[in-house]
Amino acid sequence: MNDLSSVYGHALLAQLADNPASRQLAFRLRHQVYCKERGFEPDDRYPLGLERDEHDDRALHILVRNRRCGAPLGVSRVVLDDPDGGTPLPVETHGCTEVRERLERLRMMDNVKVAEVSRFAVTRNLRRIMELQRGIGSVHVSMGVVAMIFAQSWRYGVTHWIGLLDACLPRFLRRLGIGCQPIGSVIEFRGTRQPVMADLRDVWEGVDRRNPELTRLAERFAGEGPIPRRKPSRPAANVEMQAVQAGVA
């Protein structure tokens, strides 16, 4: 595999989609992946070709693009929690009592901030888009998305991630050093999904041990621009993160 630092120096660009133009790219890629490539969402629900919902206005949107042509390749979002619980996270809308109870307990704790990671997707058109830059695969895009999720989580003081994973993935992710703790029973949402939570301190320790290249990339993203360079006590992914592409809601 190409060195991640080199790949993100000359071929790929990871960014926070923090303006209308870049967010539109993120929503358009989500429409391409979730409506056209995977069929998770009905295409006719989004006549403008932008897949978005009511949670996007308070989310951090992560985007990985082809550095040469600017085409979007990978996307995810980090939905920041309302500490008062007045506006539920997406995962709370699926009727899982255990999720609600866990979040209520965390919201009462000092120095705890929860965010939901969702809409993780990498386009199947990657090979065509990267035609002139061979050796760049979905794994490179996935790891860049994850690294930027880490960097933005640190910037906004997030201590815990919550999300929905394909029911078979939590065990797989633990083998990679990603400590996702199941919450309650599986639910039906675009297939069978397991609500999970992860403490970023524990996740970082596992990733740093199993995939130091990803650790270095995340720290590089966190150290650029106005983001303060700081390392949690211990943040999550590996070369195999491409498996998450189909597993995160």
DSSP line for the chain: ---HHHHHHHTEEEEE--SHHHHHHHHHHHHIIIIIIS-SS-GGG-TTS----TTGGGEEEEEEEETTT--EEEEEEEEE--TTSSS--GGGGG--HHHHHHHHHHHTSTT--EEEEEEEEE-TTHHHHTTTSTT--HHHHHHHHHHHHHHHHHHTT--EEEEEEETTHHHHHHHTT--PEE-SS-EESSSEEEEEEEEHHHHHHHHHHH-HHHHHHHHHHHTSTTS-----------GGGGGGGGTB-
Structural domain including 185 reads 4-246
pTM, rounded to two decimals: 0.84
Residue by residue, pLDDT tens for the chain (249 residues) are 468 889 999 899 999 999 999 999 999 999 999 999 988 888 888 889 999 999 999 999 999 999 988 999 999 999 999 877 788 999 998 878 999 999 999 999 989 999 999 999 899 888 788 766 677 888 899 889 989 999 999 999 999 999 998 766 666 566 656 678 889 888 878 778 889 999 988 888 888 888 888 888 998 998 753 333 344 444 433 433 333 343 445
What CATH number does the domain containing 23 carry?
Answer: 3.40.630.30
Per the structure, the count of domains in the chain is 1
